[in-house]
Amino acid sequence: MIQLQDVAVTYAGSEAPALSGVTLSVPEGELCLVIGGTGSGKSTLLGTMNGLVPYFTGGRLSGRVTVAGRDTAHHPPRELADVVGAVGQDARATFVTDTVIDELAYTMESLALPRAVMRRRVEDTMDLLGLADLRDRDLRTLSGGEAQRVAIGAVLAAQPRILVLDEPTSALDPGAAEEVLAILQRLVHDIGLTVVIAEHRLERVVQYADSVIVLAGPGGPVRHCSPGEAMAESDIFPPVVALGRLAGWAPLPLSIRDARRAAPALRARLQDAPAVPPTAPPNRDGPPVAQVRGLEVRYAGVTALQGLDLDVRAGQITAVMGRNGAGKSTLLGALCGLVKPNRGTVRIAGADGPERTDGLFVDPRALVGSALLHHVGLVPQQPSDLLYGETAAQECAQSDRESGSPAGLTAQLFQSIAPGAELERHPRDLSEGQRLALALAVVLSGRPRLVLLDEPTRGLDYPAKARLARTLRELAAAGLAIVLATHDVELAAECSDRTVVLAQGQLIADGPSRDVVTHSPVFAPQVAKILAPLPMLTIADVRLALGAPR
């Protein structure tokens, strides 16, 4: 179905190729997973399969790419649209209409399908992806996860023979991600759809894959093998595989079910091991940095938050979790003054700092310019929204000027979070992880007391996530208050002190992360599911209990 023969891709201005000497074949009816570190060329490889490389992205492509018998050298993307559907990392960038139902029909309209066929396929797609309740919603009012499902649905409605997805679950909550992946697996098995997925969250996907393409790095070797072979040899692997390696299990488990079957002996060893020190409880007696009282926010008749009370305190990392559309991004927007409450109040610590005891708090919407930068900073779901410079160096210099920071501070922060990142590169040419690091450095240059991050691990590989977690713990130790809106249960387990769970805009759980996530079958990390009822959340917990080196 998809064949690449000695394919190489080199972009203008780059000394090294993004891909080199790639030869592989993906047969019909296979779910193929593409893995590799941030910036290893995964998106480029997917782009060759749908014709966007080089027709849209530019660059020079050599070798031969054949898709459903069509050579992409002679068939541009518009001539592949009936057989290849593609969804990129930024779902909203693909929208061309105003409402969900119109977006689902648009591709079929472009292919001139009969109206009756379009209507039936739109309804089938909404049922498949749980979009019926969003039928008439304005696309601008959708949460990130809802937008992701609509983008996938708009492609599926055209019933392509090949589906190419770049980070399809990155904006989805755990339950929605499982549903989408189960749907894709059913389409692969039942109708022979060929699916190629590039994904960093391997804990969600690897158990569904028929084969894995492993990218070693820009221009490096590419291997196409079975999931078991890939996980045994790759430097990138999910916690379930890390636990299997630590315990010496063979074959390595790829799913929670397989790991639990192999785990009785390990659980017995851990029962007798010294107790794992509990995560530090939320610092409820520490100085408050933000106070939310009776918060209600509505969008065009849709209630995003209602009756929310919350205190955020210095030195605390708070993970905000919940289904797509639960109100997580809205809460972050209210905390930084971007969202106006319909009812209730949001206050952040005033000019004299959170150490004051006289209750001096201000409305973040009353702060502008550098005054706001010194109080609260937001890293949005798309970090590039904060970046406007021609180079990372220009972005850093501008940030220093706007925040009143010493010259070079932002660049120093950037390179400490993303070692090896090139300051002279354009921000859009940086990897996802490097763009996040640059946006975080820009925010931190203002030395805010409250740092907000919305889905910060989108596009990050496991090493980059580990660096981010380490950075956040250091910031919290320095007294900053950090709030993460995230679907990444592994990140929440790794670095958060406290977890808040929202449902339909209401607070339904709030407590120490070790308690909250282990009590939820949805938000529990892989290690907790495998070793339950033991109070283990991460591989680090297991290593500590076994006395193994880190």
CATH number assigned to the domain comprising residue 160: 3.40.50.300
pLDDT of residue 354: 43
pLDDT of residue 76: 87
pLDDT digits (tens, 9 = 90+) for 383-404: 888 888 899 999 999 999 988 8
Question: Which H or E run includes 279?
Answer: none
Q: Where residue 252 falls among pLDDT bands split at 50, 70, 90?
A: very high
* Cβ neighbours of residue 487 closer than 8 Å, sequence gap 6 or more: 145, 171, 172, 173, 174, 177, 321, 324, 455
Find the mean pLDDT for residues 110-128: 90
Has residue 478 been placed in a domain? Answer: no
Task: Reply yes or no on whether the pLDDT at 181 is more than 80.
Answer: yes
Q: Report the C-alpha dihedral over residues 416, 418, 424, 426, rounded to 10 degrees.
A: -140
Has residue 359 been placed in a domain? Answer: no
pLDDT of residue 353: 45
**Residue finishing a domain among 447, 464, 485:** 447
pLDDT digits (tens, 9 = 90+) for 463-514: 888 888 988 999 999 899 999 999 888 998 889 999 999 999 999 999 998 8
Find the mean pLDDT for residues 228-242: 93
State how far the alpha carbon of 168 is from the alpha carbons of 86, 140, 177, 178, in Å: 10, 19, 8, 11
Count: domains in the chain: 2
pLDDT of residue 196: 96
Task: Reply yes or no on whether the pLDDT at 352 is more than 70.
Answer: no
Task: Reply yes or no on whether the pLDDT at 167 is more than 80.
Answer: yes
pLDDT of residue 434: 84
Is 139 exposed, middle or buried, given 0-12, 13-18 or 19+ CB atoms closer than 10 A?
buried
Q: Which of 205-209, 411-415, 463-467 has the lowest mean pLDDT?
A: 463-467
Task: Reply yes or no on whether the pLDDT at 382 is more than 90.
Answer: no
Has residue 225 been placed in a domain? Answer: yes
pLDDT of residue 278: 54
Has residue 128 been placed in a domain? Answer: yes
CA distance 469 to 377: 18
Task: Reply yes or no on whether the pLDDT at 351 is more than 60.
Answer: no
**Residue finishing a domain among 402, 417, 447:** 447
Computed over every residue of the chain, the mean pLDDT equals 88
Has residue 267 been placed in a domain? Answer: no
Has residue 534 been placed in a domain? Answer: no
Find the mean pLDDT for residues 337-349: 93
Q: Where residue 355 falls among pLDDT bands split at 50, 70, 90?
A: very low
Task: Reply yes or no on whether the pLDDT at 358 is more than 70.
Answer: no
Q: 80: domain range?
A: 2-246
Q: Which of 142-151, 260-269, 410-419, 451-460 has the lowest mean pLDDT?
A: 142-151
Phi, psi of 441 (to 5 degrees): -65, -40
Residue type, 505: G
Find the mean pLDDT for residues 71-87: 88
Find the mean pLDDT for residues 30-59: 89
pLDDT of residue 128: 83
Higher model confidence: residue 146 or residue 90?
Answer: 146
Instruction: Tell me what percent of the residues of the chain surpass a pLDDT of 70.
Output: 95
State how far the alpha carbon of 216 is from the alpha carbons of 222, 224, 235, 304, 544, in Å: 6, 12, 9, 42, 30
Has residue 297 been placed in a domain? Answer: no
Query: What's the token pair of residue 362?
Result: 């201000």
pLDDT digits (tens, 9 = 90+) for 522-547: 888 999 999 988 888 899 889 988 88
* Single pTM value for the model: 0.83
Which of 236-240, 346-350, 464-468 has the highest average model confidence (pLDDT)?
Answer: 236-240
**Residue finishing a domain among 408, 425, 447:** 447
pLDDT of residue 240: 95
Has residue 490 been placed in a domain? Answer: no
Q: How many residues in total does the chain contain?
A: 550
pLDDT of residue 356: 42
Find the mean pLDDT for residues 427-450: 87
Instruction: Tell me what percent of the residues of the chain surpass a pLDDT of 90.
Output: 47
